Structure 1
Amino acid sequence: MKKSLLSITCASIMALPLVTQAADNSVAAEIEALKQRISELEARQASQPDAASGAVANQWTDRITLSGKAEFLATHSELETGSTNDLDVDAVKLVVDAQVNELISLSTTLKYKEGDEFYVDEAIATLAKEGNPLSLTIGKSGIPFGVIESATWTDPLTDDLTDNTDDLAVLSYAQAGFSSDFYLFKGDQDNDDSVNNAGVNLGYAFGNGLSVGAGYLNNIGNTELFLDAGVDEKQSAWRLNVAMELGEAGISAEWVQADAFDSLAGAKPSVWHLGAHYNTAVFGAPGTLALGYSESDEAADLDLAEKRLAASISRELGDNAELIAEYVREEGYTDEDADTLNLVLATYF
């Protein structure tokens, strides 16, 4: 028994270095693996911007985009009183868009028109969630009553009648071709801060390129045309519009009718517009042929032409630029006709 115990003890003593060596090899392997893991983490961290400096800057630039345009105009007009010529920077627009987060986006438009300084033409915040058909837009923007589907450089008379920029809130819904807007705006006619002007738009886009729409505005008297004419009266208006896209060609029509204005001797100002365009090659580059005709009725007391015909041809000048040549014929209510030739260099970025 003693001999057996002695043998076991000797064997254990002899095996001890082997066990210790195996344990040391295991610890060394674990340490080496840990070092390798630390090296991988350090390399990954080095490839990313520091959260307290570069990361913030990169995220800031990723959320903001800049765009804009500048238009340079040369024009010649033949009037009843003689001819005029002009050469100027017609308009400059700078748009700053920012994605605040997944829900809120901002857009600010700075604009310059001939004779004016840079001013904030639009500043809006839009609350919309991806995949949700509802959205809310608040801020300062154009009142979304007129549709103004025109491919000519000169806008139709429907734009002159409905142009208005004000503080507003728009609740929109769009899904499966159907779209609607309900909006409230303050208006310049009110001397207080009350918001009692409203409008609604309805539209539907079919899958074959056809789209139709209708709109109601409870106060068209707040638009710039009526305010500039000294009309301080609130009257409602209606709009109907239709458009059809046929490949490279398209046609559109719009009609706006206002209710009777007592301050205009019971007149019901109205405007209708018909436009057409065709995208084709012009002297070897992409271009567009466009035609638009507008006519107003019962608007003699407003600074609005009775008829306006515009025909234009445009050609791309490389990327982000185009040259537009346009002829415009206007007829006034008192036979004050005007023929104008416009040559426009439009640049975009």
Structure 2
Amino acid sequence: MDKKRSLQLLEKLSNANGVSGFEDEVVHLFSEAVKDLGEVTEDPMRNVYVRRRGNTGHRPVVQLDAHSDEVGFMVQAIKPNGTLRFVTIGSWAPVNIPAHKVRVRNRDGVYLPAIITSIPPHFMTAEQKKAVPKISDMAIDVGATSAEEVKNHLKIDIGAPVVPDVRFEYLDHRDVMLGKAFDNRIGTACLADTLRELDGQDLDVDIVASLSAQEEVGERGAQVTVKKIQPDLAIVFEGPPADDTFSPEYMIQTGMKRGPMLRDRDTSIIVNPRFQKYVLDRAGAKGIKAQHAVRTGGGNDGAVINLYSGAPTIVLGIPVRYAHTPYSYVAFEDYVSALKLTVDVLKSLNAEVIGRF
């Protein structure tokens, strides 16, 4: 792999604006990154399909999936004082929202800087200082003083998407990336790099990649992509929340710099145990770091793909510290391990192997 190329793609994807339903920037970046690797198409939902160059149409079909959207917000109403009432897009903890910088898209498509409001401590009561803030009590401040200014001068409408305003950084001395939206721009980049690593390779399976929209609001895009692709097997790239900064050692199952996490179970899926074991065994045989996890929450596109197609499915996640907040860390070595493991598995697959799952 070309580390410089990968980091450049990761930077562009992390910085891109793309809450659920507004993934256009991410779709463009991904499509440009893979345009020379196969037939690239897009549907009206902004799902992207890449049919790998070299597919024959007469072999088992492997769907590689990642989702393009990120968690964020949407403008619900404009208050008389010029602040914006909003709702969340995707899952947020209210305590992580106030006092952060965001970007609000206006009707010209320009993203304007703004701040999520917070009451200065000087004006807080003792009870307010202890209480968890309610989202319904928050607002977005674009620096205006009236609703008329917001509507007519700034051109902000109800329904405008809002994203955290965070810029990507690569911390070379720690080989760690810092940025927003690694759930799931890290998976998006790994999907593109997997196709590039396989370019020109002889395989015994056909590969169709899907960059699915609207995962954070109910795996909606994957419900469309799986029906079009009709896979015989699936690998889903994710950016799962890391647990190594708050869990006891024996409970750490998604630790940074411990390799990709293969999820045994969450509330949406129990992965195919035979396929899961096959991948973990190959990781061990190749000396690639990997970990697996049993989760009591969460959900992902793998559940939809498995449910609609019945195809053996695994979820391969690159650990993201502080997912679903404005700022996240990802170790580049985990990204590399995920890429190496996926490429190795895909090279090993054929109809007979898949039939054993």
Q: Computing the radius of gyration over CA atoms, which structure comes out larger, 1 or 2?
A: 1
TM-score range relative to shorter protein: under 0.3
Q: TM-score, normalised by structure 1?
A: 0.22
**Bigger fraction of residues in helix:** 2
**Bigger fraction of residues in strand:** 1
